[in-house]
């Protein structure tokens, strides 16, 4: 199926590894030109070469931190100078501090401030900077990566859930305001996704993996490719009448009817 995004300009934040990297690969496979933004310039350069070699798309690298105003302003300027505007914005954010603790045990102010800056303030800062690049193009897609825990709270996830819920609310407000510009704004809310590519505290232990398998009727972990596929569909021409919503990708973990 032709998704109608060949030649579009797509920005993917936090794209040096993991979910952001896989989303960039999937969008490039559909012919989108890619802007990569993350802190690790070496990882971005490696990914950029991969994208250009495999898919013959144009790739712009901007190394920087979503939490740093000057870096975000530089990102916006680089996109404007290189491409003239932006069509697709994938808002992926860094993780909360690890390991995650029970809500009553989250007593360290520094952890709350770090989670806020990583997952909510960074998202708002990048949005308000790059959004003007999208407003006059007559077509656009904004897709934020949040968490299924926003709808079905998971144990030990409050530090992350609180601020991802804020992102969901922000995107809902944006959807109500940018629709007049033919821009949709949605969230993709994953859970129970395989993270074996990670190392250290961010990766699930075997015990944690086994516990998560019991939360889904599918009895398996979701894949990075499955998340990237949903994001890419929301970026497509066919998804043009979907806006202001969250698509939960959690293998059926969420039990509610709505």
* 51: CATH: 3.40.50.720
Is there a domain that residue 88 lies in? yes
Average pLDDT rounded to a whole number, residues 177-199:
87
Asked if the structure places residue 3 within a domain, the reply is no
Count of domains forming the chain: 1
The per-residue pLDDT for range 83-123, each reduced to its tens digit, is: 999 999 999 998 888 887 888 889 999 999 999 999 999 99
* Residue 118 belongs to a domain: yes
Take residue 209 and report the two structure tokens written for it. 């993996």
The domain of 108 spans 9-249
- Whether pTM > 0.85 for this model: the answer is yes
Write down the pLDDT at residue 258: 61
User: What's residue 192's pLDDT?
Assistant: 82
The model's pLDDT over 56-84, given as tens digits with 9 standing for 90+, comes to 999 999 999 999 999 999 999 999 999 99
In a domain, 1, yes or no: no
For 53, phi then psi, to 5°, come to -70, -45
48 belongs to a structural domain: yes
Residue 256 inside a domain? The answer is no
**Whether residue 201 has pLDDT greater than 50:** no
Residue 150 lies in a domain: yes
């Amino acid at each position: 199926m032709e998704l109608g995004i060949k030649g579009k300009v797509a920005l993917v934040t936090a794209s040096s590894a993991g979910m952001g990297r896989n989303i960039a690969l999937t969008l490039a496979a559909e012919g989108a030109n890619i802007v990569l933004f993350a802190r690790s310039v070496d990882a971005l350069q490696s990914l950029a070469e991969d994208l250009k070699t495999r898919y013959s798309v144009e790739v712009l690298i901007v190394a920087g931190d979503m939490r740093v105003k000057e870096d975000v302003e530089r990102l916006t300027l680089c996109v404007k100078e290189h491409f003239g505007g932006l069509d697709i914005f994938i808002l992926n954010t860094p993780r909360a501090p690890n390991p995650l603790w029970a809500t009553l045990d989250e007593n360290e102010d520094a952890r709350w401030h770090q989670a806020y800056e990583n997952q909510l303030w960074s998202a708002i800062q990048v949005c308000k900077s790059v959004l003007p690049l999208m407003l006059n193009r007559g077509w656009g897609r904004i897709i934020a990566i949040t968490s299924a825990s926003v709808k079905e709270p998971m144990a030990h996830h409050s530090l992350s859930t609180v601020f991802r819920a804020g992102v969901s609310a922000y995107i809902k407000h944006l959807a109500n305001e940018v629709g007049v510009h033919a821009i949709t704004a949605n969230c993709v809310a994953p859970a129970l996704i395989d993270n074996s590519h990670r190392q250290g505290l961010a990766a699930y232990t075997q015990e944690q993996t086994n516990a998560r398998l019991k939360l889904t009727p599918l009895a398996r972990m979701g894949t990075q490719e499955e998340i990237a596929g949903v994001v890419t569909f929301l970026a497509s021409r066919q998804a043009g009448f979907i806006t202001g919503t969250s698509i939960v990708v959690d293998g059926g973990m969420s039990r509610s009817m709505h």
